[in-house]
Every structure is written in structure tokens, then in C-alpha cells.
Structure 1
């Protein structure tokens, strides 16, 4: 029996989706190829903001009930969102091509293609390419290139910054004419497109021939049809990008289900595995994590042993925090969970959405809800904020 809260939310969200023509793919195309994958035994999962859609949950696109986990639908679709929402689907990597072939046959090979991506000249690569073109000795070029520091995710190194941060490189630039010439020329090509390749997951499906929206080409390595516009340009041309990502661990899960069926005669439904199994949490608390997707490795295992997880939310928190930046909050979360530190909130309004994480900012949604309820942002402003944070765009974050 569907409760009244569920029905009320579902009716409201259907009305909003029906007002947005860009969401036609939600109710039709995406549910179509995901249902086909399920019917053909292909393990799938869905990522991203679509998990906040009760409609997506109701028609089988997502397996997560957004009401239980308080996932905001407005992050997925709201009247102020400037770009069309997309849905990221993951497939067992050994069967991803089957799904793409199905979509191509169903909707027309002239309307379906993968998206291209451009590799660009980064700081080190620019120096190496220029040095090679100038005919400088490999060891000389290599010595200079290795003096350029590596950038961080979202903040790639550039040559101007490298000269400011590396005294040894600056000294060579000031005293060696060959180094100066090589770096000056490298600055002129830095950031330029170097080569084209196939995006790891991006796919577009057009209502008419793709040539009405984007030029196409054949990828010479794999023979696939790809767009000549990269991801942002494809979206600007009016197409909705979707992700068809192949995940090795989904293939492993699919193979495990088959092995259990073959050896034990037990049919496992991955969507019905209980999330409150005490034996599983005891194994994780003991550090028995070998081979577990996102939970293995010495660092993560130590954190799980310290945490002593008791519920699925603990696992979600660890996956979210165990990455550069928020990793510093792990000890704070563990201390608050175990009663060693007081649970406090930066602002009284934040208790409504930080109560399950003991007052610790964990998820991107926590930042968005803070911006709305504390800073007074609209959902349109929050969407720009989300993109700036998620894509690590310094210029947008500064605004």
C-alpha cells in the first residue's frame, strides 16, 4: 500500500516533470534501456541527482527511496536550473556494449553516438612536446619537465604558477637560453587541444539525425561513431548527455550471482539484499574488507575498524569522507558517533539535515541545504554553486 506522503510527493513531482519537456527522456528512453538491461540480466546502478527523484524510483530507474534518505528532488530538476538534468547509469563493464548496441538499434544509428573528449596540452606535456620539436636532448627536456610540480584534481598546474612555486625552475629559466625558449614556446600551446578520444561514458540520443546538432566522425581506434563536439558543446547544441559507464565491480557482482545460483541453487536479487545485516557490519568492523569496492585498502580499513559501523549510513559516510579534503572530518565523525565529542551544529537550522551525521558536513547535499536554509540561496543559485564545487571551478566558487 502506498502511503499518503508517498502519493502526495509522487503527484507533485509528476506535475513538475510534465512541465519540463527536457525530462521526456526520464520517463521513456532511460527507463526503456534500463528495463531492457534488467530483463537481460545485466547488472546496473544509477548515480547522481536522479536518486532524488521519487518518479525515477517508482518507474525503476533508481533503487533508492529518496524519502528515506531525504534526497532533494530540486537538485535533479527545478524551474531555475539552467541546464537540462542528466541521468548517469552504470553497467557491468563486460556487457556495456550490449546496452549501447540496443539503444542504437532501437532509436536509430543516425541518432545515437558517443561523445568525444579532447586531451589538452598540460604544463609538463607542453614542455616535452616543444623540447621534442626543437630537437633538444631527451635528458635535458626530461630534467626541466620534472621540475614542474604536479597539479591537484580540479586545479591543474600551469607554467606561470610553476615558475612562481619552483625556485630551481625559475633559476634555469632566468639563466639558460634554451630553457627560456622552450618554456616560452610551451606557454603558447599550453591548454590547446592535443588529441581527440572517446569519452569514457558520455552518450547522446537525438530526436532527429545527430547531424542536425553536431558534426560526427569515426574513431579510428575502435571504429565507433563519435561527436566532434565535446560534452559542454553538445549540451549547448541542445542535446541531453547521458552516461553509460562500464564498472568492473558490477561485472564481478553479476558473476557472483551466477556462481551462487550454479553452486548453491540460490537466486540472489541484488536489489533485495538487506541493508541491516549484523554479520556484515561485524566483518567490516573487524577489517575484513579485501575485494570490497570502495571499502578495501589499508587506510579505509583502519577507518572502518575505528568507526565500528552499525548501519548503512555509516558506510555511506565513510565512502563520502574518504577522499581528499573531507578526509579530515573522519575522526570528528567517529568521535561524535561514539559519544567522545559533543554533537554541535554550526547553525540551529542545520540540525534538520545534519542530525544523521552528528552535525558533520559530509555530503554535497549538506552544502546545498546550508546554502538554501542558512545563506538564503535560491535553487537556481544553488545549482550554480553545486556545479562550481562538484567540477572544482575556482572562478565560479569565487563568485
Structure 2
């Protein structure tokens, strides 16, 4: 029995998504940018996907610019906005707990001469709105804050963040890869100008995502060529099959959001009831997506625990950081002591996780933790 509990890294493909993609591998194979029947047939699928994606966040279809994923979308948002900003607005504001593609893009911009403010977070992982307000000024071009954190699952107060940014005339970007399709997002109510999304976080295919851009938002092109997307904002032939999968995944998410949330909350309680004490949960206990549990077991080595859990797929944090052998910058930003951070696991479940799998995984984690603690005693 192999149990998959790493839903923040990626999600399994929904069978309905696979079915929606199938025609674009065969009959509807045309280049969507070609002016003939085969091209128009493929382009129709793109139009439907734009509508389904935009509807999930209260936007219009014209907002959607397709990309290869959230990493490209985040790079395009940060670099594109900063390069297009007026001369008097040279500062980018973000958080220390952002995904590495946001932080690395921000640091790359700083090396080019732009100003950067990376704000700390509170112990619960939530932004300090008072500190954010103090930091903002008329030199800020962009505020970029992740809606739901990929490592600890906390939900940031995007409406309040958006209102503060609006007050100083700054644009607002949110990396919503972990939020899109899981929690309610409204680009108007939250004053969002740019939103990054990814298909494979919501039961869609890997290799496709998007940047939703409010019409009229100045963004400098980062990928030049045929200018296929966003009136020349992003070039490259689009992949109709992948985009159809993203659109279908968004459509399903819209219909299942309440059911998926209730299922995640049920498994959260079930998992915690069956995990061994003592343990510490990293991140706010209330303002969170309950499909993400970042938990530390005192007296346990997390890397060794992962090695012992041969039949449970979990992680010690972001997949990109784990692969590089780096410690979690998110837990560090929360002020989590190094030994507690090293004893942490990120456990994630979702739509296809069963109660039986959750209980069995908790049992196997408990056995592995107990074995380590016995050896250390």
C-alpha cells in the first residue's frame, strides 16, 4: 500500500480532466494561432478555458495569459511590472515566506538596480498589516504576496493587502498557485491586478499555468516572438491539450470547492487525532487551507523520518527546496528553531485521499516517530 500525501508538490490528474484533454491530442490537433478550420477548432478550446479560469476569480476571459506554469507567471509579473513602472516607482514589496521563484525574481531585480523590501511575517506566518502599511509609499510599484503558502498553508488577508497597496498607488500581484480553485478569490474585492496560477496544483496537467492580468496593467514583455498572448505580452505556440486540461480543472474546482474544503477539513481532524504527541503545528491554526499540515515532532530527525516512511509520500517542505537539500526558509521566517524545523514534515491531502489512507498513513508516521524516539532515549 503506497499512500500519496504530497498534494502541495503536485496533484493527481482528475479523470475528467484527462478526458477533456484527449481530443486535442488527436482530432483537434491544429495550431490555435492558424487561420483555418483546424486552427479555429483548437482556438475554441482556448477560449472556453479562458472563460472557466477567469470565472473562478471573478475576472473576465481577457485577463488570462497562458504560461508554462506559475514559475513563469511569477517571473513575468514581477519583472514585467517593475520594468514597465514609472521612473518614480522603483520598489518591490514582498514577504520572506514567498515561493523561491518570487524571492529569486525579486533578488534578480535588486541586482539590476531596483529597490526591494522583503518583510518578515508574524510567528503564525501571516503578514503584519501595520508593518506593511508603514513600509508602503509612493515609490512602490508592486506588492507581491502569496495567497496560500505552499509550505505551511496559511491564508494571507489579500483584501486588506490590496486595499493598503491601492492607497499608495501600487499594483498588487498574488502567487495563487496554492489558492486557485481551493479558496475563494475575487480580483475585484481583493484589488488584485495580477494573479499567477498553475494547473497541476488543481488536478490538471503539468506544464501549463497562467497569469491573470487586469486590462491596462503595464507589464513589459519577457518572452519575445510571435506575440501570441496578451496582445504581445507572451510569445510561443500554445498547447491546446494542456490548456483544455487547465480549463476543465478550473471548472471542476468551481463546482467542488465547498465539497473539497469540507473533505480537507475532515481529513485534517482525522490525521491530527491519530498522530503522536508531542507535536507542533507550524503556521496559523485558523487562517489556513486544511489540506496542508506542516508539523514538527520534537526529538525526531525529519530527513531520517522521510527515509523511514517508504510507503508514504510526504515531504519536508517545498519540492524544489527538498530536491536541493535546503532547509525551509519559510519555517526560518516564522522563527521556528532549527531543531524544530529539522523535525518537520509537510503532509498534504486532497480530493482523492480517503479516510482509510489517512488513518493508515498516520499509523505509519506514528510508528516511525516512536521508533526514533525509542532509539534516542
Indicate the structure with greater helix content: 1
Band of TM-score, shorter chain: under 0.3
Normalising by structure 1, we get a TM-score of 0.25
Q: Larger Rg: 1 or 2?
A: 1
Normalising by structure 2, we get a TM-score of 0.26
